[in-house]
Structure 1
Amino acid sequence: MVLLGEIGAAQGLKGEVRVRSYTEEPADIAAYGPLRNEAGTKTIEIERVRVTPKAVIARIKGVTTREAAEALNHTKLYVARDALPEAADDEWYVGDLVGLKAVSAEGGPLGTVAAIHNFGAGDIIEVERTEGGPSLLVAFTDDTVPKIDIAAGRLVLVPPEEIEASDDGDA
């Protein structure tokens, strides 16, 4: 399952909700058909969306009151991975990256990709180190991740010099 968004607060009195959409175009979250909650126990169908300057507002099938909309607050919206289109050559789904082995430019093991985060300033790759210790958190850029090979199950990670220096005890 792939996370496409999350339902937020109720909007108005007639059952609409705000949605945080993780799709490239926010309104496209409605184009994937029925979505599932995190446990996979509930199906959520978005009947229509409208994008405002502040939020994506959605009408959920069967939700007609503010109280019903409020009950959906914080519901994460998932779709099966096979329902997604194939990624372009220079694009990847986060779910395809998590679990890849991270190696240095020379091929030495660094760890395993644990997550990709985005706190608003760009993507950050989190790598659990092979030798233990705190995870590496590195900006996910072409310079720091110059090669990704999904088929081989690995990516090349080039941490900035500041991180390498702190690893040696120099910083």
Structure 2
Amino acid sequence: MKEHAMSDTRIIVGAIAGSFGVHGEVRLKSFCVPPEAIADYSPLYTEDGSRSFDIVLERSIKNGFAVHLSGVNNKEDADALKGVTLFADRDQLPSLPDDEFYYTDLVGLEVYDTGGTKLGIVRVVVDHGAGDLLEVYAPTMKAPALLPFTKAAVPTVDLAAKRIIADPPEGLFE
């Protein structure tokens, strides 16, 4: 599951890319795995929680789905939602295996090296297509370090202790 902004009780699951057709359908990008699982988490909420939508996946289209959202009945309503991110209640989402994490759970964790030295704090998780990276901010560095989120570079994630033990590539935190 890919996430960009999160809260404790809701997790981002998709974004509206604009209207699709003239009957109020929207073009929806799903951040779920598999993508069609987004329909299982209905209702979906706007980031501020002010609106919620029941969703019906109408069909697969390029880069997403054509979706009918409850309360969206025409092209103008659908156009007004372009760029809106959609969130699902965390308790609607499946539990993950021990070696998988929701991005929201990694943000804010302290990162320590294998010798116990604090390296920084995870501010965001990014994925540019070549694998997940933890953006780690350290007070001693001018720019954040991009730590590969792999078993080799991050052997331990302890959510209960809110810490990550990292074995970063040579020179990453200098």
Shared fold, TM over 0.5 = yes
Q: CA 1:25–1:49 in structure 2 vs 1: closer, same or farther (change >3 Å)?
A: farther
Q: CA 1:133–1:39 in structure 2 vs 1: closer, same or farther (change >3 Å)?
A: same
| 1:79 aligned residue | 88
Q: Is residue 105 of structure 1 aligned with residue 114 of structure 2? A: yes
4+ residue stretches of structure 1 with deviation over 6 A?
A: none
CA drift of 1:143 comes to 1.3
- Secondary structure of the 1:152 match is coil
| 2:172 aligned residue | 163
Give the TM-score normalised by structure 2. 0.87
| 2:44 aligned residue | 35
| 2:97 aligned residue | 88
CA drift of 1:53 comes to 4.6
8 A contact 2:41–2:89 mirrored in 1: no
CA RMSD of aligned residues (A): 1.6
How far, CA to CA, are the matches of 1:28 and 1:42 in structure 2?
21
List gaps (5 residues or longer) in structure 2: 1-9
Identity of aligned residues (%): 36
8 A contact 1:112–1:130 mirrored in 2: no
List gaps (5 residues or longer) in structure 1: none
1:16 maps to amino acid:
E
How far, CA to CA, are the matches of 2:114 and 2:58 in structure 1?
45
CA drift of 1:69 comes to 0.8
| 2:146 aligned residue | 137
| 1:124 aligned residue | 133
- Secondary structure of the 1:30 match is helix
CA drift of 1:83 comes to 2.4
Give the TM-score normalised by structure 1. 0.89
- Secondary structure of the 1:8 match is strand
CA offsets 1:55-109 (integer angstroms, 9 cap, x no match) = 2221111222111111111111012222222211111111111111100011110
Which is greater in Rg? 1
Q: CA 1:135–1:150 in structure 2 vs 1: closer, same or farther (change >3 Å)?
A: same
Q: Is residue 13 of structure 1 aligned with residue 13 of structure 2? A: no
Q: In the comparison of the two structures, how many residue pairs are matched?
A: 165
Q: Is residue 153 of structure 1 aligned with residue 154 of structure 2? A: no
Q: CA 1:41–1:80 in structure 2 vs 1: closer, same or farther (change >3 Å)?
A: same
Higher helix share: 1
